[in-house]
Amino acid sequence: MRAMKVLLVNPKFPDTYWSFRHALPFEGKRSVFPPLGLLTVSGLLPQSCERRLVDLEIEPLKTSQIEWADMVFITGMLAQKKSLHEVVDRCRKLGKRIVLGGPYVTSTIEDLPYADHIFQGEAETTLPQFFEDLERGTTKRVYKAPERPPMSLAPIADFGLANMKKYSNMSIQYSRGCPFSCEFCDIIEIYGRIPRTKSNQQVIAEFNELKRLGWRGPLFIVDDNFIGNKKNVRLLLPAIIEWQKQNGYPFSLLTEASVNLADDDDLLAAMKEAGFRRVFLGIETPVEESLKEAQKSQNRGNLLDSVRKIQSHGMEVMAGFIVGFDNDPEDIFERQIQFIRESAIPMAMVGMLNALPDTQLWKRLEREGRLLGADATGNNTIATVNFIPKMDVEKLVAGYQRIMRTIYKPSEYYRRALDSLQRVPQDMPEAHQYHGIKAVKAFLRIAFTLGVLDAERREFWRFFLEAVRTHHDRMTELLRHAAMAYHFRKLNESYGDT
C-alpha cells in the first residue's frame, strides 16, 4: 500500500468555561490544550502515513490542506458538533475519504453527517484493523470497538504534531473510566466503571517526550477521575515524584478527581510532592437530597471541609456545580453562591442540568416522559435544558443567571482568589513558561487591558495591590487569576448574563 496522506482535524469549540478564550491573549496563546485524542490517533497510524494536524482552535482549515490529503480524520465532542458538520461538508465537496470518531460520534442520538467510515468507541484495536482492511480493499463503514481495550495498547501521543507554542497547557491521559455511578454522567457509559490505567513506564515515557520537545509548565492529566483506581495511582505517584525531582520539576500538574480525595492523607501528600498544583472536583451541589438523586454518594459529608483539606495540601480547587436537580429547593441559587464563596473556589463552573444521551438520567427522564427530544448542547454555560424540570423553567433560568452574575462579578471573583491563595500554601515556585521578556509582556497586557481600559479597573488594582502585598512571591498565579476573572466575566456578558 502506498503511503497515505492523513489530515487530522479538530473542530472548533464554542466559547465556554473551558475555552478560556478571553484570557489566552494575555499569554499570547491561541488555545488551552492540544487535541489529545487526535495526537493519540496519530500515534496509532502506520509509520508510512504522512500526517498533518489542523486544530481550528488555533488556525483556519485551508482548502489546500484538504486537497493535500487522501483521508481526513475528524473527531469531536458534543460541544463541537456544529463545527464538525461544517468540516465534513467541506471535505465531502472536495471528494475526500472522511473518517469520523470521538465522543460525539460514539454517543449521539442525532443523525451523523455523511462519512465513509465511522469509529465508535476507543480506537486502539479498530484503527489497526481498518488499515489492514484498507490494504485488502475490504473496509467497512462502521468500526465499533467490541470491548474497551487495555491502556497498554495506547501509544505515546504524537505531541510533535502540535504547534506547542500556541497552547498554554499540554495534556496526557493516564486512565479511562470511573468507578462511580453519577446519574448525569456519560463518562461511565463511554469508558466504563472499571478504570483502566497506563503503566508507570508509559506515563514516564510521555513525560520524557514532552520534556524532549521542550515543554515546561502546566501539564493536565486529563482523566475524568485521576484517583478512580487508587491502587494503581499509589504505584504511579512515587515514579512521578522521582522523575520530577531528577528533572527539576519542569511540569506543574493539574487533574480532575472525585471529592473523596480529601479522605486520603497519604494520597494528598504524595500528589503534593509530585507537583500537583490544581485539581478540578465535581462538587455539583451542597444539597444532600440532590446528591442522593444524582447517585453521587462520594460527595456525601461535609463538602466545605473536604475542599479545605485539599487546599491545605497545596492544591487550588476548581469545581463544577449544577442547578436543576429535581430535589433542588427554592433557595438553591443562594446556597450555591454561598458555598462557592465559603469554599474559596475562584474557578467555579456552574451549569444547568442537561440529559446527555444514553446516561442513566436520560433513560430515567425518557421513562418519565420528560425528555424534550434533543441532544444537549455540550455547553453547560448556556441557560437551556433539554428536559422538563420540576422547578418552573423561568425561575430556574433566572436563578441560574443570578448565580452567574454574582460569582463572576470582579469583586466576588477577586475575593475568592485572595482567599484561595491564603489557603493553598506553596513550598516551591510553580513551573510556568513566563520568564524574562515573556513575563513582562504578559503583565503589561493584563495591566493595560484590566487596569486601564476596563470599566472594572478599580477592582483589578484593588486585587492586584493586596495580592502583591500578601503574596508577592506568587506573581504568576496572581496574573492567572486576573486573566481568569476577565474571561469569566466576558463569557457571562457574551451570553447576555446566562
Cβ atoms within 10 Å of 398's Cβ, excluding its own: 13
Which tens digit of pLDDT belongs to each residue from 347-363? 999 999 999 988 999 99
- The beta-strand segments (E) located in 250-376 are 251-257, 276-284, 316-323, 348-352
* CATH 3.40.50 boundaries in the chain: 5-144
Helix 303-312 to helix 332-343 angle, to the nearest 10 degrees? Answer: 20
CATH topology of domain 169-422: TIM Barrel (3.20.20)
**Residue 263 Rama label (left phi>0; alpha psi -120 to 50; beta):** alpha
Query: Facing residues of 365 across strands?
Result: none
Identify the pLDDT of residue 113. 86
Q: Which residues contact 187 (CB under 8 A, 6 or more apart)?
A: 177, 178, 224
Three cell numbers at 95? 471528494
Identify the pLDDT of residue 498. 41
Helix extents (H) in 300-387: 303-312, 332-343, 360-367
- Give me the mean pLDDT over the 56-63 stretch: 97
Which tens digit of pLDDT belongs to each residue from 96-130? 999 999 999 988 867 788 899 999 999 999 999 99
- Give me the mean pLDDT over the 379-392 stretch: 84
**pTM of this prediction?**
0.95
**Residue 35 Rama label (left phi>0; alpha psi -120 to 50; beta):** beta
- Give me the mean pLDDT over the 198-209 stretch: 98
Identify the pLDDT of residue 82. 93
Identify the pLDDT of residue 158. 98
CA 424 centroid distance within chain: 22
Which tens digit of pLDDT belongs to each residue from 165-184? 999 999 999 999 999 999 99
Supply the mean pLDDT for the chain: 94
Confidence of residue 374 (pLDDT cuts 50, 70, 90): low
Confidence of residue 380 (pLDDT cuts 50, 70, 90): low
Identify the pLDDT of residue 378. 58
In terms of Cα–Cα distance, which of 314, 317, 276 is closest to 426?
A: 314
Three cell numbers at 304? 466545605
- Which stretch of 101-105, 219-223, 233-237, 281-285 has the lowest confidence by average pLDDT? 101-105
Three cell numbers at 21? 478564550
- Buried b or exposed e, range 276-303, using 16+ CB within 10 angstroms: bbbbbbbbbbbbeebbebbebebbeeeb
CB 14 within 8 Å of CB 136: no
Three cell numbers at 297? 454518594
Residue 324's alpha-carbon distances to 71, 291, 359, in angstroms, are: 43, 12, 16
Please provide the distance, in angstroms rounded to a whole number, between the alpha carbons at the two ends of the chain: 53
How much of the chain exceeds pLDDT 70, in percent? 97
Residue 330's alpha-carbon distances to 391, 434, 436, in angstroms, are: 8, 46, 52
Identify the pLDDT of residue 376. 62
C-alpha span between 153 and 150 (Å, rounded): 6
Cβ atoms within 10 Å of 331's Cβ, excluding its own: 11
Identify the pLDDT of residue 379. 62
Residue 309's alpha-carbon distances to 277, 315, 335, in angstroms, are: 14, 9, 21
Give the SS3 label for residue 172. strand
Confidence of residue 381 (pLDDT cuts 50, 70, 90): low
CA 223 centroid distance within chain: 9
Q: How many helices (H) and strands (E) does the chain have?
A: 19, 14
The CATH architecture one would assign to domain 5-144 is 3-Layer(aba) Sandwich (3.40)
- Buried b or exposed e, range 436-475, using 16+ CB within 10 angstroms: eeeeeebbebbbebbbeebebeebbeebbeebeeebeebb
* CATH 3.20.20.70 boundaries in the chain: 169-422
* Amino acid, res. 335: R
In terms of Cα–Cα distance, which of 295, 386, 379, 385 is closest to 104?
A: 379
Confidence of residue 375 (pLDDT cuts 50, 70, 90): low
State how beta strands 196-197 and 175-176 pair.
Answer: antiparallel
Identify the pLDDT of residue 387. 95
C-alpha span between 444 and 450 (Å, rounded): 10
C-alpha span between 258 and 187 (Å, rounded): 13
* Amino acid, res. 409: K
C-alpha span between 452 and 460 (Å, rounded): 10
Confidence of residue 194 (pLDDT cuts 50, 70, 90): very high
Which tens digit of pLDDT belongs to each residue from 245-289? 999 999 999 999 999 999 999 999 999 999 999 999 999 999 999
Nearest-Å Rg of the Cα atoms of the chain is: 23
CB 488 within 8 Å of CB 413: yes
Which tens digit of pLDDT belongs to each residue from 409-437? 999 999 999 999 999 999 888 888 777 78
Residue 301's alpha-carbon distances to 76, 267, 312, in angstroms, are: 36, 19, 18
Confidence of residue 496 (pLDDT cuts 50, 70, 90): low
CB 414 within 8 Å of CB 408: no
Identify the pLDDT of residue 78. 87
C-alpha span between 348 and 317 (Å, rounded): 9
